[in-house]
Amino acid sequence: MKKMMVMCGSGVATSTVVMGKIKSWLEDEGLKEKVTLYQSKVAEEVNHIDDYDIVVSTTLVPDSIKDKVINGVPLLTGVGADAVFAKVKEAILK
């Protein structure tokens, strides 16, 4: 079971929207049973990033963790969302 963190600046607004989209996508892809979802804000998770297998963020993250984080902004705009879902799927099946 993979652990996925969805985070934004406040841990409330945009991460909630993205969390809903990811939940629906996981169900559609038949991957729901492979992932445990968590939601928080960047400030609380920056030092715990290694606790998660997959991290999706809708806000800027420190350079020190950039390579471990998938940019979730396309899930808000709809532009490039397929590429984000492809990265998430790859991480789940890894």
At residue 29's C-alpha, the angle toward residues 28 and 35, to 5°, is 105
Helix, strand or coil, per DSSP, at residue 37: strand
CATH pick for 2-93 out of 3.40.309.10, 3.40.50.2300, 3.40.50.300, 3.30.2010.20: 3.40.50.2300
- Sheet order of strands, 2-8 included: 35-41, 2-8, 54-57, 70-71
Segment 34-50, tens digit of pLDDT: 999 999 999 999 899 99
The model carries a pTM of 0.94
- The residues pairing with 7 across neighbouring beta strands, listed in sequence order, are 40, 57
Chain centre to alpha carbon of residue 30: 17
- Domain ranges in the chain are 2-93
- Matching residue, tokens 């963190």: 5
Using 50 as the pLDDT threshold, list the residues of the chain that sit under it: none
- Per-residue pLDDT at 11: 84
- Per-residue pLDDT at 50: 94
- Per-residue pLDDT at 12: 87
